[in-house]
Amino acid sequence: MADKFPEIDAEIPINSNEDAGDFLAREKALLGEDATQFQTEGDDDLLKGSTEDEDDELKKFEEQFPTVLDEEPVQEEKEQEEEEFDEPVFNAPQTQGQSDAVKQWRERYQLEISTRDANDAAKSEEIKTEAAKQLDDFYQDYNDKKDSSIAKVREAEKEFLDKRDAFYAKGEVWERALELVEGVKGEGNLRFKEVLKAKVRAVRD
């Protein structure tokens, strides 16, 4: 501000006699010969009195108000403090130690998350694999038992049919009937057996 506005307390040389002389000289230059018509004996006293009054008023002003230059450093210091406090708090630079600690914490946190996710994925895959294996084992066992049961039934069926065919291939019907009765125990069957045996002998004879 000192560059734009001159200092108020700068000493301005005031020479009342020179100012009065200059004023009269300018007046004569403008009016020419007519200047003597307006000139009076009290002109000098009037000009001197006005300059003395101005000097008195200037002294009173300087006594009532100190020089502005004495206050300028304080004002500049206040402006500088205001500029410092106007800066946002988040612009304060972090120390290298704090930034390194935060960086290391983030790296550890990301590593823990990655490790946990990898373990969860591995466990999930292991569970899926075990479930698929158990399901395959169940169906394999079921199919094996089913095939074994079918094979046994077929074998029993074949054996039964073979026996039936062999039975029907034997002799006469009375002989087959006697063979069937002979396997049955009981006193009531004795008479029936005797009848069947007689029929067989009669057929053979």
How many domains, in total, are found in the chain?
3
The predicted-structure confidence for 21-51, as pLDDT tens digits, reads as follows: 566 677 666 666 655 655 555 555 555 555 5
Least confident of 54-58, 160-164, 176-180, 195-199: 54-58
pLDDT at position 129 is: 95
What stretch of H or E contains 191? helix 188-204
Task: For residue 63, tell me if it sits in a domain.
Answer: yes
In-domain check, residue 32:
yes
**Could you list the residue range(s) of the whole structural domain that residue 188 is in?**
170-205
Share of the chain above pLDDT 70, in %: 50
Average pLDDT of the chain to the nearest whole number:
72
- Could you tell me if 197 and 141 lie in one domain? no
Which residues fall within 8 angstroms of residue 38, CB to CB, at 6 or more apart?
27, 31
The alpha helices in 32-95, defined as continuous H runs, are: 35-38, 43-64, 72-86
Tens of pLDDT, residue by residue over 60-105, are 776 766 554 444 455 555 555 555 545 555 554 556 767 888 999 9
Structure tokens at 38: 């307006």
Q: What pLDDT, on the 0 to 100 scale, is given for residue 97?
A: 67
pLDDT computed for residue 183 by the predictor? 65
180 occurs within a structural domain: yes
Whether 150 and 190 map to the same domain: the answer is no
Residue 179 and residue 161 share a domain: no
Domain termination residue (choose one: 52, 85, 118): 85
User: Do 136 and 128 meet the contact criterion of CB atoms below 8 Å apart?
Assistant: no
Same domain, 192 and 161: no
Q: Residue 179: its pLDDT value, please?
A: 74
